[in-house]
Amino acid sequence: MRILGIETSCDETGVAIYDDQQGLLAHQLYSQVKLHADYGGVVPELASRDHVRKTIPLIQQALAQANCSKEDIDGIAYTAGPGLVGALLVGATIGRSIAYAWGKPAVAVHHMEGHLLAPMLEDDVPEFPFLALLVSGGHSMMVNVQGIGQYEVLGESIDDAAGEAFDKTAKLMGLDYPGGPLLAKLAEQGTPGRFRFPRPMTDRPGLDFSFSGLKTFAANTIRSEGDDEQTRADIAFAFQDAVIDTLAIKCKRALKQTGLKSVVIAGGVSANKQLRLQLEAMMTKLQGRVYYPRTEFCTDNGAMIAYAGMQRLKAKQFEPLSVQAKPRWPIDTLAPL
């Protein structure tokens, strides 16, 4: 069984073809980074228009890469939410229309479920149940995962998500968009211990996240300490250290609360090297395991949508003819398999 997956939730256009026996057959991705760089962030209207231009050519390229025709495809999966409503509508409309034209079932995929299941694309996959730490530009979320569709949200961001805080702090430091990876690279030159930033919401019970205050603390430090290159690197180090430490503290707390022994980290921030190293060290001490997708599947991509869509396709969870985009879509409202 083969499925075509389409991802257009924000500023990446992703298309992939996944086979339930052979695995990933094709993976095409176009990033809009250069398009939005002049504006210092994603411009929703420009993102939507670019998805219109890029989605069909990427579908054609994916079919050619997989040496497939429409007759070889058993279903069409597309991201229906959450995300930017205009961008979502592009992928949902194209995906549903192709499904109708080809006489195939259509599957609406939850973007964060795609991220959560992305490690399943690897050779070494986690077994259910596990704890999922989903950290991206738009979401920070801790989820107790008992199975596909069996999600209990233990904590989430109440303001800025981790990735958003990275990008905004990088912008304060004069780094280009997207600033998160550039801030992490700058932090490699930082001096440990020169600055210590707070670990927000770790001094109280609960598993929710808040990073807006940390961003403000960084802004005040930048203003008061000057902006020579070494100071900027030291501030970047302290900021990254605070975010990673906060995520690790919350993970450890969630593991103790649930009794789980495995952690999955996914989403754009899961590509951060220091986050991976700290969680790996923590899980070794706790005699557990940490799993994450390869770097190219940490950011938005069609492969994770195709995989998640395949699971829903097998369960015959199809969409009607109407096209619906859900910019807000709680992950714990999904149907279990």
Give DSSP secondary structure letters for 127-147. PSSEEEEEE-SS-EEEEEEEE
The pLDDT of residue 260: 98
- Predicted pLDDT of residue 248: 98
What are the average pLDDT values for consecutive 10-residue runs of the chain, which has 337 residues?
Answer: 98 98 98 94 97 98 98 98 98 98 98 98 96 93 98 96 94 92 97 96 95 95 89 97 98 98 97 97 97 96 98 97 95 96
72 is in an annotated binding site: no
| 85 in a known ligand binding site | no
The model's pLDDT over 129-188, given as tens digits with 9 standing for 90+, comes to: 999 999 998 889 999 999 999 999 999 999 999 999 999 999 999 999 899 999 999 999
Question: In this predicted structure, what is the pLDDT of residue 220?
Answer: 96
Beta bridge partners of 110: 81
Binding residue per annotation — 213? no
What span, in angstroms and rounded, lies between the C-alpha atoms of 272 and 279? 11
Distance in angstroms (rounded) separating the CA atoms of residues 89 and 44:
12
135 in a labelled binding site = yes
115 is in an annotated binding site: yes
pLDDT at 137: 86
Instruction: Say whether 51 counts as a known binding-site residue.
Output: no
pLDDT of residue 226: 74
Please, what are the domains in the chain? 2-117+297-333 (3.30.420.40), 127-292 (3.30.420.40)
Q: Residue 290's pLDDT is what?
A: 98
Give the per-residue pLDDT at 8.
Answer: 98
pLDDT score of 31:
97
137 annotated ligand-binding residue:
yes
Q: What are phi and psi of 78, to 5 degrees?
A: -145, 150
Is 97 annotated in a binding site? The answer is: no
The reported pLDDT for the residue numbered 138 is 86
The verdict on whether residue 138 carries a ligand-binding annotation is yes
